[in-house]
Amino acid sequence: MRAMVAIRPGGRETLRLVDLPIPRPGPDEILVRVKALGLNPVDVKIRGGYRAEGRSWPLPLGWDVAGVVEQIGQVVTRFKPGDEIFYCGDLTHPGASADYHLVNQRLATLKPASLSFVEAASLPLVGSTMLQGLGRQARLVKGETVAIFGAAGGIGGMGVMLARSMGARVIGVCSGHNTDYLRELGADEVIDYTRVDPVKAIRALTGGRGAEVVVDTVGGEGFQQAIESLAPFGRLLFLNAFPENAPPLSALNPLRLTNGALHCVMVVPSGELMGELAEHIDKGTITPKVEQVLPLERLADGHARLESRHGRGKVVIELDMKMSESIS
């Protein structure tokens, strides 16, 4: 099978198109014919050596998959060959930038019929993460205010849509060229951080209190601003797992004044979260936002877009796409 692999930890120059044997499913695994692969910043981090212990290289990258069940292991009961599924794979296993991928049956769910493979592949990781973060960790309640830093990105945009569907008032923080896009996503208020101080703007919009839930996908200075935008007893979701963006302990001082809680979000992929995501898709409360569709040969270009850290929506690899058909 074709596979685009990183031959060793490093930059985009380590990516190569190679031929690999088709893997064989273990007892509770499914062999999936990959139709589309959604990209996420964590792909770039893993390519660079993040969480490298125990990995073997060359390594296919990318864990958000939409595809067709090709073969099932002996004890697989939830799926049969021909089923169209989507899932967020286990990040500790090899990725799916290849014609075929193995996944444990407990991680997958049936792809909503209303979505194309490309659309479905754009949702698993960001959808699971925000369902886990806003729902299970912050326990967002109807009527609360949520402020999202990095709201136009893949994960931030999902946060805007989900928070709206949970009945929250949503304040999105982005740069000027994304303000109309954020309003289209459903943000009630949009703050252009390149023009105004987002902390002051969030306080002004909340009668001085701050937001009950703040989502930081940016890190660094963004984390500082996020923590200062929190209402008393508020909940801060910290999503940016870049090691260099980990905040120093002193950055947590404002929490002492507000009695706020810090929730570090590290998504634990599951079929249960995917099922919840599929329900939101069926209800129309979330819709895919795909910025770029590329063939497998252009995976490095997709990584370059993620490395810019100014994405708007998602980048997806379409496995059957020819080089001449790229959409960006």
Ligand X SMILES: NC(=O)c1ccc[n+]([C@@H]2O[C@H](COP(=O)([O-])OP(=O)(O)OC[C@H]3O[C@@H](n4cnc5c(N)ncnc54)[C@H](OP(=O)(O)O)[C@@H]3O)[C@@H](O)[C@H]2O)c1
- Between 296 and 315, whose beta carbon lies closer to ligand X? 315
Q: Which stretch binds ligand X (CB under 6 A): 91-99, 105-113, 171-179, 253-261?
A: 171-179
3-state secondary structure of 189: strand
Pick 48 or 73: Cβ nearer ligand X: 48
Backbone angles phi, psi at 263, to 5 degrees: -115, 115
Complex with ligand X: residue 206 or 217, whichever CB lies closer = 217
Binds ligand X (CB under 6 A): choice among 154, 210, 234, 295? 154
What per-residue string of b and e applies to 263-297 under the rule 16 or more CB within 10 Å gives b? bebebebbbebbebbbebbeeeebebbbbbbbbbb
Binders in 41-100 for ligand X, by CB under 6 A? 41-42
> What is d(CA 19, CA 4) in angstroms, rounded to the nearest whole number?
9
309 counts as binding ligand X under rule CB under 6 A: yes
Instruction: Give the integer Cα–Cα distance in Å for 172 and 150.
Output: 8
Determine the Cα–Cα distance for residues 103 and 172; give it in Å rounded to an integer: 35
Residue 25 engages ligand X in binding (rule: CB under 6 A): no
Alpha-carbon dihedral angle through residues 87, 93, 97, 103, given to the nearest 10 degrees? -40
DSSP 229-297: TEEEEEEEEE----GGGPPPGGGGHHHHHHT-EEEE------HHHHHHHHHHHHHTSS---EEEEE-GG
- Interface with ligand X includes 240 (CB under 6 A)? yes
Taking CB under 6 A as the criterion, which residues in 179-238 touch ligand X? 193, 217-218, 222
For ligand X, which is the closer residue by CB, 168 or 182?
182
**Closer residue to ligand X in complex, CB, 105/217:** 217
Q: What is the smallest separation between the CB atom of 67 and ligand X, expressed in angstroms?
A: 21
152 touches ligand X (CB under 6 A): yes
Separation in Å, CA 287 to CA 11, 88, 122, 291, 296: 32, 17, 10, 13, 24
**Between residues 170 and 173, which has the closer beta carbon with respect to ligand X?**
173
Rule CB under 6 A: is residue 115 a binding residue for ligand X?
no
Answer whether 123's CB lies under 8 Å from 288's CB: yes
Q: Which one of residues 88, 147, 162, 173 is an interface residue with ligand X (CB under 6 A)?
A: 173
Nearer to ligand X, 25 or 133 (CB): 133
How many whole angstroms separate alpha carbon 206 and alpha carbon 204?
6
> Which residue in the set 4, 36, 155, 273 belongs to the binding site for ligand X (CB under 6 A)?
155
174 forms part of the interface with ligand X (CB under 6 A): yes
Positions touching ligand X (CB under 6 A) are: 40-42, 125-126, 129, 149-150, 152-156, 173-175, 178, 193, 217-218, 222, 239-242, 265-267, 306, 309-312
